[in-house]
Amino acid sequence: MIHIIRVKNVMGKDLIGEGVLNDIYQMGIKNITKVETAKVYRLEGVSEREAKVLAETVFCEGIYQEYTLNSPIIKGANQIIEIAYRPGVMNPEVGSILKTAEDLGIKLIAADSSHEYGFYGKVTHQEIEDIARKLHLLNEMVEHFVKEKQKTLLIKDIPAKTNIIRLRRINDEQLLELSKDKLFLNLEEMKVIQNYFQKIKRDPTDLELETLAQTWSEHCAHKTFKARLLVDGKNKAPLFERIKKEALKHNKNIVSAFVDNAGVMDFYEGWAINGKAETHNAPSAIEPYGGAMTGSGGVFRDVVATGQGAKSLVSTDIFCLAPYDLDKSKLPAGTLPPDYMLKRVVAAVRDYGNRVGIPTNNGSFHFHEDFRAKPIVLVGSYGILPKSKAKKGYPKIGDVGVVIGGRTGRDGIHGATFSSAEMSEKTMEVNSQAVQIGNAIEEKRVFDAILEARDKDLIRAVQDLGAGGFSSAIGEMGVKTGATVHLEKAPLKYQGLAPWEIFLSESQERMLIILSKDNLKEFLKICQKYNVQASEIAEFDGSKRLQVFYGKEKVGDLEMSFLFEGLPQRVMRAISPRHSERSEESLTNVSISNPSASLRAGKLRDSSLIARNDKMVWAKVLEKVLANGNINSKEPILRMYDHNVQGTNALHPFAGVGMDGPNDAAVIKPLLDKPYGMVVSHGLNPEFSMMDPYWGSVWSATEAISNYVAVGGNYKDASLVNNYIWPFPDKEWLWSLDRSVDAVCDFMKTLKIPVISGKDSLSATYRGSSGVVIHSPPTLCMSVFGKIPDVKKTVSSDFKKAGSTIVLVGKQDLESSIPRVDLKVLPKVLDKVHKAIVSGKVLACHDVSEGGLITTIFEMCVGGNCGVRLHLEGVSLDFARDKKAHLRGGFLLNETAGCFVMEVENETTAKKLFEGVPYKILGKTTQDEKLVVDGLFTVDMDRLQQAWQAPMKEIFP
């Protein structure tokens, strides 16, 4: 029997209910007068008396709540709906309910929790369900309306069997049919597999075939990055090889690169720092909350699973979405509205990052219509570990593999293969299993246990159970030794999983720990202390085979050499666009058609208005620029992210009089009792890299390092993490990807610093059945992390006082449609800026980015609660006479990366600090809170600040 407890607040406001009612009004529905909400708990296996005890001690706080047992609590409503996670989708709350019942001496068999909404007013049940769907009160990928009375909460099922797949005698067409929507391998690869099994004279099991598909998936094997390239007919080395080759030339600080779950560089006093960023686009496109959560969880695990274990210190979140005000009719079938996506990814970071206790102190948002089908959800994490434990570990023969943390369920099956595929409107239906909800606390206790075991020298190696699950983790770890796996030992969420499902499952919050048998007992004791479930599942046995058992049945037996070396290297052709040099004119047209970008420098549709030099017009243009999605203040979002947990921030995301001036990078003190700092920043510009993959990528990388240097980082002690998010790499997209990699290699060469980690995601393409094809803008995101000896030698962006001198340092490009960074000048500028900051003579510094020079200065005024007066002698702003001026966006709106606005005492100081690199005195800071450009305009800061802050305040009140 299931007892149902319903709880509602009786004092104060029903905040959720009011929010829903408000959203309903905004839909134009006026006949609903009130929405009331309640929490529902279902308890199985307890007596009525015990249910009452639980209600009164656990679920209901009598001070402001009341409850009912097995009867409705929302009484006056016309319609009531209940929304719960679907059976089989992990509800993170259930574990805590079971625990607390046990603590109270009550034995629960199962439990669940859900939400009820009561609607007052004349409305039918069907109408309410439609409204709930439209408002996305639920995501039917993971949630459902509870309708029937359940008899049990337990999921019972008979374990499915292992099947033999008749592969040896089928034709090409049948091979492709087998691969479609499931294995995502091409014909050549399918044939290699067919040949292998013909050779060993048997057919594969489903587990073997799935294991091969996962290991050979684009996501895991990076086939494009490892392919031999023919670019316009000319041979070129694989992309990955080129990046690696250039990177390893700059190895001064490298501790570990390209081999482990994250790249590691040297820090101070025997410590090292590590970093990684990765996307979670495919699941996020269909369930942004679960997708972004598991994205965070995955990258945190990558950082922790480096060497013999690291502590994660920083989380970064970068989201590329369609504009939040996009006309819904433009949404292709099977995709979600962007405002919903925005709210849900933010909620995911809040609910996951905050709980795990890793500060989210760096990130950004980018909006472009072409992200409407496949958005980018890119999460990064950075950590610290002893240098002596920073090298990737490998098992020795006789070592055991222990799975710790979450249980294995059906969730995330096919995640690796699915994320390698293009998206279509069918994606939502076919691949629902790839989506899951994260359990942050499970992850936190796993991390706690790993760090203690590391410090007790118990760990040989740590491997994250991410894409591909056991198959990927055990396979990769055992590639040299071989491994025997016992799947029946994996703790399961519920019965009924086939062996291949257990092996491939991507259930979150699990880690594989490899250790010597001698350490097993002590390790299990640590797990017990932290309430971490642990189970010995594999042995690394020297067989050089991957042998998988389910009880006594052998369900898989593959040679490691075939699994990891059998995949043929691809030869891929890249062709430059037919009109090899796209004219500036056509580029301009392309982007002007995009409303979100029309006001960005270089593409000023309204620039003809500015040409009149009309003060009022300038004010309006500035307001529009500052309100743009890529530029406006994200403070309301940052205030919901815990960016201050761990107490390590030495430079917060926002500072200044009202703590509302944005800073360029995170500076943290990984060791609280030491002065050393870690600096973390990033840069990307999907629009620029779409227009020109080379210069757009150079811009992105330069923006990243400029953010890093603007706060006081020394670029010579920095490492790079590169992430490529590209449309499906057919010939032309491969050409542009190749250009982006060229840009990254040139960038490394210029600054003599290495890329030490990164990832590619080459499936940013949507194909609808009606022939609609949407390519997301190809995007290089460059992340930077590095070390500084003293966090006190850093600066924030807020102007510190009136009467200081404002200087622009760096070389602007006023000619090209995408501002090109002069790579010859860049290192000198970065060096000067860094030295100036370390000298202590810089009061404030902020780099020039999207929105251009004037936006940079505006943001510095926000933090300083002050204004500026600029004199721009010798700068052409005469749009009327200079026909090209509007193309260039003018001096004030110019977005050349690698330029810095600095506040110093006076002109003499400026000269001393910056002689030898391009710099220009712009004017002075003023008490009066106005932006004044002599001869051009005077605008009140108040007005601009309102325009800059309003959009996100509206979405996140």
Partner 1 sequence: MKTLRLRSGREVNVCILQSDGTNCDNELFYAFKKFGGSPQFVHVNELRNKSKTLKDFHILALPGGFSYGDDVASGKIWAIELVSFLREEIENFRKRGGLIIGICNGFQVLIRTGLLPFGNLGKMDATLAANSSGHFECRWVRIKSNKSNCVFLKENNQVGWFSVNHGEGKFFSSPGIIKKIEDENLVTFRYVDEQGNPTQKYPENPNGSLNAIAGVTDPSGRVLGLMPHPEKFVDVTQYPNWRREKIIKPHGAFIFEDMIKFAKEGK
Determine, following the binding rule CB under 8 A, whether residue 22 of this chain makes contact with partner 1: no
The residue from 21, 77, 83, 97 that contacts partner 1 (CB under 8 A) is 97
The residue from 298, 656, 754, 786 that contacts partner 1 (CB under 8 A) is 656
Determine, following the binding rule CB under 8 A, whether residue 12 of this chain makes contact with partner 1: yes
The residue from 114, 646, 761, 783 that contacts partner 1 (CB under 8 A) is 646
Q: Give the per-residue SS3 of 652-695.
A: CCEECCCCCEECCCEEECCCCCCCCEEEEEEECCHHHHHHCHHH
Nearer to partner 1, 47 or 528 (CB): 528
The residue from 27, 33, 61, 166 that contacts partner 1 (CB under 8 A) is 61
Give the number of other Cβ atoms within 10 Å of residue 180's Cβ.
Answer: 11
CB of 63 to partner 1, least distance (A): 5
The residue from 24, 35, 50, 59 that contacts partner 1 (CB under 8 A) is 59
Q: Tokens standing for 390?
A: 């920073």
DSSP 57: I
Alpha helix (H) ranges present in 104-238?
125-134, 172-179, 187-199, 206-215, 218-221, 223-226
Q: Which 3 state secondary structure label does DSSP give 833?
A: helix
Determine the interface stretch with partner 1 among 125-133, 429-437, 495-503, 654-662 (rule: CB under 8 A): 654-662
Residue type, 233: G
The residue from 4, 32, 77, 92 that contacts partner 1 (CB under 8 A) is 92
The residue from 32, 89, 193, 645 that contacts partner 1 (CB under 8 A) is 645
CB of 105 to partner 1, least distance (A): 8
Determine the interface stretch with partner 1 among 26-34, 355-363, 377-385, 500-508 (rule: CB under 8 A): 355-363
Nearer to partner 1, 63 or 158 (CB): 63
The residue from 22, 31, 47, 57 that contacts partner 1 (CB under 8 A) is 57
Nearer to partner 1, 218 or 664 (CB): 664
Determine, following the binding rule CB under 8 A, whether residue 616 of this chain makes contact with partner 1: no
CB of 88 to partner 1, least distance (A): 19
- Per the listing, tokens 């007052």 go with 120
Q: Judge contact between 374 and 277, C-beta under 8 A.
A: no
- Per the listing, tokens 């891929």 go with 572
DSSP 492: B
Nearer to partner 1, 472 or 646 (CB): 646
Determine the interface stretch with partner 1 among 178-186, 195-203, 284-292, 787-795 (rule: CB under 8 A): 787-795
Determine, following the binding rule CB under 8 A, whether residue 58 of this chain makes contact with partner 1: yes
DSSP 148: S
Nearer to partner 1, 31 or 528 (CB): 528
Q: Give the per-residue SS3 of 911-943.
A: HHHHCCCCEEEEEEEECCCEEEECCCEEEEHHH
User: How far separated are the first and last CA of the chain, in Å rounded?
Assistant: 43
For 643, residues 6+ apart whose C-beta sits below 8 A from its C-beta are: 359, 360, 361, 649, 652, 653
Q: Which 3 state secondary structure label does DSSP give 318?
A: strand
The residue from 647, 824, 874, 915 that contacts partner 1 (CB under 8 A) is 647
The residue from 195, 388, 528, 906 that contacts partner 1 (CB under 8 A) is 528
Phi, psi of 193 (to 5 degrees): -65, -45
Site string for partner 1, 438-477 (x = CB under 8 A): -xxx--xx--x-----------------------------
Tell me the DSSP string of 721-753. Answer: EEEEE-S---HHHHHHHHHHHHHHHHHHHHHT-
Q: Judge contact between 780 and 724, C-beta under 8 A.
A: yes
Phi, psi of 480 (to 5 degrees): -90, -35
Determine the interface stretch with partner 1 among 393-401, 402-410, 548-556, 795-803 (rule: CB under 8 A): 795-803
CB of 471 to partner 1, least distance (A): 29
CB contact burial 596-632 (16+ within 10 A = b; e otherwise): bbebbbbbbeebebbbeeeeebbbbbbbebbbbbbbb
Determine, following the binding rule CB under 8 A, whether residue 32 of this chain makes contact with partner 1: no
Determine the interface stretch with partner 1 among 226-234, 429-437, 637-645, 889-897 (rule: CB under 8 A): 637-645
Determine, following the binding rule CB under 8 A, whether residue 19 of this chain makes contact with partner 1: yes
Residues 797-856 that bind partner 1 (CB under 8 A): 798, 800
The residue from 133, 199, 529, 612 that contacts partner 1 (CB under 8 A) is 529
The residue from 26, 28, 30, 63 that contacts partner 1 (CB under 8 A) is 63
CB of 704 to partner 1, least distance (A): 23
Q: Tokens standing for 871?
A: 């004199």
Determine the interface stretch with partner 1 among 56-64, 549-557, 713-721, 780-788 (rule: CB under 8 A): 56-64
CB of 57 to partner 1, least distance (A): 7
Determine, following the binding rule CB under 8 A, whether residue 158 of this chain makes contact with partner 1: no
Determine, following the binding rule CB under 8 A, whether residue 64 of this chain makes contact with partner 1: yes
The residue from 30, 672, 770, 873 that contacts partner 1 (CB under 8 A) is 672
Report the distance separating Cα 34 and Cα 43, nearest Å.
29
Report the distance separating Cα 305 and Cα 757, nearest Å.
14
Interstrand relation of 755-761 and 718-725 (parallel, antiparallel or unpaired): parallel
Nearer to partner 1, 159 or 491 (CB): 491
Determine the interface stretch with partner 1 among 211-219, 488-496, 524-532, 889-897 (rule: CB under 8 A): 524-532
Q: Tokens standing for 182?
A: 């499931």
Report the distance separating Cα 264 and Cα 259, nearest Å.
10
The residue from 179, 279, 736, 796 that contacts partner 1 (CB under 8 A) is 796
C-alpha closest to that of 292 among 275, 269, 316:
316
Q: Judge contact between 697 and 812, C-beta under 8 A.
A: no
CB of 5 to partner 1, least distance (A): 11
Count interface residues toward partner 1 (CB under 8 A).
67
C-alpha closest to that of 382 among 300, 493, 267, 282:
300
CB of 806 to partner 1, least distance (A): 17
Nearer to partner 1, 934 or 954 (CB): 954
Q: Tokens standing for 33?
A: 């007068």
Determine the interface stretch with partner 1 among 148-156, 300-308, 434-442, 873-881 (rule: CB under 8 A): 434-442
C-alpha closest to that of 414 among 637, 186, 581, 181:
181
CB of 659 to partner 1, least distance (A): 6
CB of 650 to partner 1, least distance (A): 4
The residue from 50, 422, 642, 859 that contacts partner 1 (CB under 8 A) is 642
Give the number of other Cβ atoms within 10 Å of residue 204's Cβ.
Answer: 24
CB of 801 to partner 1, least distance (A): 9
Phi, psi of 640 (to 5 degrees): -95, -20
> DSSP strand E in 527-604: where?
534-540, 545-550, 553-559, 571-574
Nearer to partner 1, 207 or 866 (CB): 866
Determine, following the binding rule CB under 8 A, whether residue 638 of this chain makes contact with partner 1: yes
CB of 665 to partner 1, least distance (A): 14
The residue from 792, 884, 912, 953 that contacts partner 1 (CB under 8 A) is 792
Q: Judge contact between 293 and 351, C-beta under 8 A.
A: yes
Q: Judge contact between 370 and 452, C-beta under 8 A.
A: no
Residues found near partner 1 in the complex (CB under 8 A): 11-13, 15-16, 19, 57-59, 61-64, 92-93, 95-97, 99-100, 103-105, 350, 354-357, 439-441, 444-445, 448, 528-531, 638-650, 652, 654-657, 659, 669, 672-673, 791-792, 795-796, 798, 800, 956
